[in-house]
Structure 1
């Protein structure tokens, strides 16, 4: 048993509405995403339009964020990690629901080292965006931002490098 499964199983998912209008299915979607080692294994499971939609949080967002935070401590497939961190980013940055956003930010603060790990080993920009919203120790955030500066610069240069004769840009 791993911590994210305990967090997943302790929630009564049928008690929370999802943006698709159904209840209860998000536990299965989270399990499928978290255990997937590839996009193919993720299948049709997605959190997009279920947990958050255009800045509005579904009721299920708060318990889902708890599972996401627990799962980010695990060795996840790259696509699963991306799905989870982007969903968390949407919930933290885009939420218009003040009480839901506050509860999610509290969960992120409680597991903040998972987000710092993501900043240093994964999706640096997304993790830093999340940290800018939740981190209360600005000196620590500034130190980490400086520590990952070269990582960010490399990624930006790769996206801006010309490709082929067409003058296109990578990452568009």
Structure 2
């Protein structure tokens, strides 16, 4: 896969070098990590490229986390390999479950892109539906809406899982 114009725009609109990264360095290398994950064709191509410990570490978030949510949503809105989509959904789940003010900011940004993750949950795999249900739980949609989508996504997870067991 190649980098979409939307992902490039989201990456370019931030001064990553001015943001703190979880590895202790400025986050100037984070855009390259996004690019490598998106462009990886195989797990081997992605070896060594992960956003874990750069954007978050054990629910502790870093300055680079907040703008990364926009990049994740831009990437998830387009065509991705299953490997990249799994990495980005898992990363989004970690960021939306994070502690602190940065976690609140990540959740607010994710709420803005709810339709992107909602579409994946309603059309993707059982595992993706489960991850999206967890994200919906964290991002604090209004109570009725959150309960509705969590129920819908978890039922979809059960139905898809049951269907795979029968086959």
TM-score range (shorter-chain normalised) is 0.7 to 0.9
Normalized per residue, the structure richer in helix is: 2
Match of 2:109 in 1: 107
Offset of 1:133 from its aligned partner?
1.8
Q: Identify the residue that residue 136 of structure 1 maps to in structure 2.
A: 141
What secondary structure, in the 3-state scheme, does the structure 2 residue paired with 1:44 have? Answer: coil
Q: Taking structure 2 as the reference length, what is the TM-score of the superposition?
A: 0.83
Q: CA deviation at 1:42?
A: 2.2
Aligned residues: 158
Mapped pair 1:85 → 2:89? yes
Contact 1:125 1:152 in 2 (8 A): yes
* 1:55–1:90 Cα contact (<8 Å) kept: yes
Q: Secondary structure at the match of 1:25?
A: helix
Q: Which runs of 5+ in 1 are unaligned?
A: 162-172
Structure 2 residue ranges without an equivalent (≥5): none
| Shift of residue 149, structure 1, vs aligned partner | 4.8
Report how far residue 155 of structure 1 moved: 4.6
Q: How far off is 1:143 after superposition?
A: 3.9
1:34-85 deviation line (CA, Å, top 9, x unaligned)? 2334323323210011110011001111111111111110111101011111
Taking a change above 3 Å as real, the CA distance of residues 148 and 58 of structure 1, as seen in their structure-2 partners, is closer
1:65-76 aligned at under 5 Å gives the runs 65-76=69-80
Distance 1:148 1:128, change over 3 A: closer
In 1: Cα distance, 2:71 partner to 2:157 partner = 28
Give the CA RMSD over aligned residues.
2.1
> Which residue in 2 is equivalent to 1:6?
9
**Which one of 134, 153, 162 corresponds to residue 158 of structure 2?**
153
Name the residue aligned to 1:55.
59
**Change beyond 3 A, Cα 1:14–1:102:** same
Return the alpha-carbon distance in structure 2 between the equivalents of residues 86 and 31 of structure 1: 17
Residue 118 (structure 2) pairs with residue 116 (structure 1) = yes
TM-score (norm 1): 0.81
Q: Any idea what the Cα deviations from partners look like across 1:59-114, whole Å, max 9, x if unmatched? A: 11111111111111011110101111101101111x122x1011111111111101
Report the counterpart of residue 22 of structure 1 in structure 2.
25
